[in-house]
Chain A
Amino acid sequence: MTGLVLTEEQQMLKDAAKRFLQERAPVAELRRLRDERDETGFSRDTWAEMVDMGLAGTLIPEDFGGTGFGHVGMGQVFEEAGRNLSASPLLSTAVLGAAAVNLAGNAEQKQALLGAIAEGSLVTALAADEAPRHDPLKVETRAEAEGDGYVVNGRKQFVVDGHVADKLIVSARTSGGSSDSEGISLLLVDREADGVDVERTIMMDNRNAAVVTFDNARAEGLLGEEGKGYAVLERVLDAGNAQLAAELLGIAQESFDRTVKYLQERKQFGVTIGSFQGLQHRAAHLFSEIELVKSVVIRALQALDEDADDTPALVSLAKAKASEVAELATNEGVQMHGGMGMTDEFDIGLFLKRARPVQQLFGDYRYHASRYARLNGY
């Protein structure tokens, strides 16, 4: 097994992503997008530059125009994106879209779609969730065969980048009842097709999400086999959750670093507040928790690259632990910044506001702890 350290190439990618995101997509850029009520929700120019760096093709095999650099590599970009609160369609398109097409697409779809993702000409969005809390089995959206295609009816929410995507990847029932794993299919639907209504929802983190309603919308086609979509969806969600865990690691680490710095600077009673044992011990505990997150994140990413048998358990381990610790880190960050932590002027609150949607998306601590238990036989 690979050691739990980065290879030289992965470290180089991390360094490159760090430099780029610090400069082009730092926290100030998120504020600008928010304050100007930007309609896209991310900068197309910055995205184009990320594409030029090859980031959009990180998970795409070289045969289809990507770099095939893998999940560990992509995780480094997400960790740095977490540190900078960088907005981009990396998750919706380069992770979820690329993984879905790569796992389930036929030769023609792969050729057409993976190349387009890698070169930045296609933005995708995964429309999976229907309930307020993540539950990929709960699918009531229906797709009915009509002629040589399918007609889709239903409603999806928490669709990341839904309002800007060119194509939607939709989980829909072609047979079976709600909560059956059999009978779920994945379909490609053009966002501008008749009967597709997309409402952007402004979230706490000011990042992209949407509610999508399908009213007799015609699908472009199936992605994978009819009725066998759930197994693919699970793997796509694993790929997504591992990256979200990496992003949460970045959020936790950056919140923590900023908080420790504040403890070293802020004075009360004539001394820095970092000299108080009551705060020191909480900071030291948080340090320990973040060390654990580093380990579970890299292991989950490696498992995806190795296609290991225990990948689902390792991904749930990573998402659960990262969610728990990011929540702690951002809460402690606000508390230790005192009144300043409650202000919009200070950045620390923005990390809290980004962490919660990332925790919730595709399952929070509770969801993944329960899944971890189930996968371990209890």
Chain B
Amino acid sequence: MTDLEQFRQETRAWLEENCPRSMRTPVLSAEDQCWGGRNFKFQSEDQRLWLERMAERGWTAPDWPTEYGGGGLSKEQVKVLREEMDRINARPPLHSFGIWMIGPAILKFGSEKLKQQHLPPIVRGEIRWCQGYSEPGAGSDLAGLQTKAVDQGDHFIVNGQKIWTSYADKADWMFCLVRTNPDVKKQLGISLVLFDMETPGVTTRPIKLISGSSPFCETFLEDVRVEKDQVVGEVDQGWTIAKYLLTHERAMIGGFGRTAAGEKTLSEQAVECLGLEDGRLADDMFRAELARWDIDAKAFELTNERVTDEAKSGQGVGAASAMLKYYGTELNKRRQEMIVAMNGFDGLVFEGEQWDQGAVPRSMLRSKGNSIEGGTSEIQLNVIARNILGLV
């Protein structure tokens, strides 16, 4: 038996023993997601237990080094772990911008102090992070950001406003892009800093979206003190890290809308809503549209796989991330529109227990943001045209 096969058997046995039954059902609502953090209220004892057990092995961040609390697994082992979790429909133990975004950036660019201070609490789900990137005047033109950090010797004083900060009202710390030098080319005067959301001068206000929910906030920064040792990488070099993080974010957003383990596929939902006649979906136009989507979705899934396989064999992912973000989000929007349409009247009811409080239309409305957040589809197309195709 190869080492990897042995790892699979051990993992399977451990998951069988340690993943609570109630954590093997599909994540259906936001409440089913465990985000951790100082203020998080666990939905159930099982949810708490599942996080605790996975975190203890470092398997909430399976590929991070063990010295910072991670699982220390190879890429192949991580893939096995994911496959074994999918096999039993195990929920992710932790949803975390710490694991997806700032953690990898600290690992790659941060000082030893930052790694030791911030990584272990991320792995354990104790500190929840939010991202301070966009500003009212800096959306697609992110590098035009104006939030000012003035050098005060051993610390900075930060003033400005951030917007579209996901879950800022629930987060414990922020990773934030600030302008440390106003006198150079805009990309060259930006730094990435970290601060506690409880620092005096930090206030947040949720923004109500067309879906009715408020996952995003405005964050106001008024004379906020940030210690110098909380700068990730060098001062004024933050844009490089920001771009690295955007790549991660794109990959993450591009994966939205993939059918989760245990969830019904779009065609299964369509068959349920519309019925079959002689083995074919009863509505011809829907059948054609669904087949077109299904083909694109399967092709996209295989492309994600191929890009991962190519990365393993040494070919870069960087360039591909813009394409994956663009295509994945557009696909998800098409999927959401079809779900609303196939449900007809029931897909439009916004309130009421019988209609799950409008989960279907709200989800569709939320998906419109996928091709805006993390760089709009148009920005992704710009990136492809310039960086890959050399069209300038």
Contact = CB atoms under 8 A, between A and B. Distances in A.
Interface string A263-281: 1100000000011010111
B295 A295 contact: no
Residue of A277, A279, A294, A296 with most partner-chain B CB within 10 A: A296
A13 B121 CA distance: 51
Interface size class of A (residues with CB under 8 A): 35 or more
A376 B267 contact: yes
A321 B299 contact: yes
A287 B384 contact: yes
Interface in B274-311: 276, 279-281, 287-288, 290-292, 294-296, 298-300, 302-303, 305-306, 309-310
Contact of A275 (B290, B295, B392): B392
Contact of A291 (B276, B312, B320, B381): B320
B153 interface: no
A48 interface: no
Contacts of A281: 378, 381-382, 385
Contacts of B271: 377-378
B299 A260 contact: no
A288 B327 contact: yes
Contacts of B296: 292, 321
B372 interface: no
Contact of A299 (B295, B302, B323, B391): B302
B390 interface: yes
A28 interface: no
A5 B295 contact: no
B388 interface: yes
B28 interface: no
A280 B320 CA distance: 17
Interface string A104-136: 000000000000000000000000000000000
B303 A295 contact: yes
B270 to A, nearest CB: 7
B295 A317 contact: yes
A373 interface: yes
A372 to B, nearest CB: 6
Residue with the greatest number of chain B CB neighbours at <10 A, chosen from A3, A263, A284, A299:
A284
Interface residues of B, number: 42
Interface string A340-378: 000000000000000000000000000001101110111
A285 interface: yes
B156 interface: no
A378 B392 CA distance: 45
A378 B306 contact: no
A320 interface: yes
Nearest to B300: A292
Contacts of B280: 373-374, 378
A294 B303 CA distance: 8
Contacts of A288: 323, 326-327, 384
B389 interface: yes
B291 A275 contact: no
Contacts of A159: none
A292 to B, nearest CB: 4
B259 to A, nearest CB: 13
Contacts of B320: 291
Contacts of A285: 326, 381
Residue among B303, B309, B327 facing the most chain A CB atoms (10 A cut-off): B303
Nearest to A293: B299
Interface in B250-287: 267, 270-271, 276, 279-281, 287
Contacts of B326: 284-285, 288
B323 A287 contact: yes
Contacts of A277: 382, 385
Contact of B327 (A280, A292, A299, A373): A292
B313 interface: yes
Contact of B276 (A5, A264, A283, A378): A378
A4 B302 contact: yes
B305 A295 contact: yes
A95 interface: no
Nearest to B302: A295
Given A4-B306, A287-B323, A378-B280, A264 B299 contact: no
Contact of A260 (B290, B312, B389): B389
Nearest to A369: B291
A292 B303 contact: yes
B196 to A, nearest CB: 40
Contacts of B306: 4-5, 294-295, 298
Interface string B342-366: 0000000000000000000000000
B299 A378 contact: no
Contact of B299 (A263, A275, A296): A296
Contacts of B270: 378
Contacts of B281: 373, 378
Interface string A45-75: 0000000000000000000000000000000
Contacts of B384: 284, 287-288
27 contacts: A4-B305, A4-B309, A264-B391, A277-B382, A280-B385, A280-B386, A281-B378, A281-B382, A281-B385, A284-B384, A285-B326, A287-B384, A287-B389, A292-B299, A292-B300, A292-B327, A294-B306, A295-B306, A296-B299, A296-B302, A317-B299, A321-B295, A373-B294, A374-B279, A377-B267, A378-B280, A378-B281
Interface of B: 267, 270-271, 276, 279-281, 287-288, 290-292, 294-296, 298-300, 302-303, 305-306, 309-310, 312-313, 320, 323, 326-327, 378, 380-382, 384-386, 388-392
